[in-house]
Amino acid sequence: MSDSTFVTTRPELLRPARRALRGVVAFFDTFDTAIRVARRYESLNRLSDAELARRGLDRADLARTAWSESF
């Protein structure tokens, strides 16, 4: 009988795979954050200067605002 489940009694063999998986997850988390910041920046950038002023924002601060609001 063939068992297709991989089981090891040596956890050190799994460490490189776990490390690689953490790197992949971190990459996609960072990518998701970058997309979220870019979308927020674009939405703020579409506003007129008057609309930005009503929100207490200046066009020069859009990148900083988009970044800080994403966290």
**Tens-place pLDDT, residues 3-33:** 566 666 788 888 999 999 999 999 999 999 9
Residue 24 included in any domain? no
Separation CA 36–CA 67 (nearest Å)? 9
Answer whether residue 61 is part of any domain: yes
Please give the tally of structural domains in the chain: 1
Helix and strand numbers, DSSP H then E, in the chain: 3, 0
48 occurs within a structural domain: yes
Instruction: Give the pLDDT score at 11.
Output: 81
Burial (CB count <10 Å: 0-12, 13-18, 19+), residue 65 = middle
In Å, how far are 6, 49, 50, 60, 62 from 53, measured between CA atoms?
60, 6, 5, 12, 12
Q: Domain for residue 18, yes or no?
A: no
Query: What's the domain range around 42?
Result: 29-71
Q: What is the pLDDT of residues 27-71, one digit of tens each?
A: 999 999 999 999 999 999 999 999 999 999 999 999 999 999 987
- pTM of the predicted model, to two decimals? 0.71
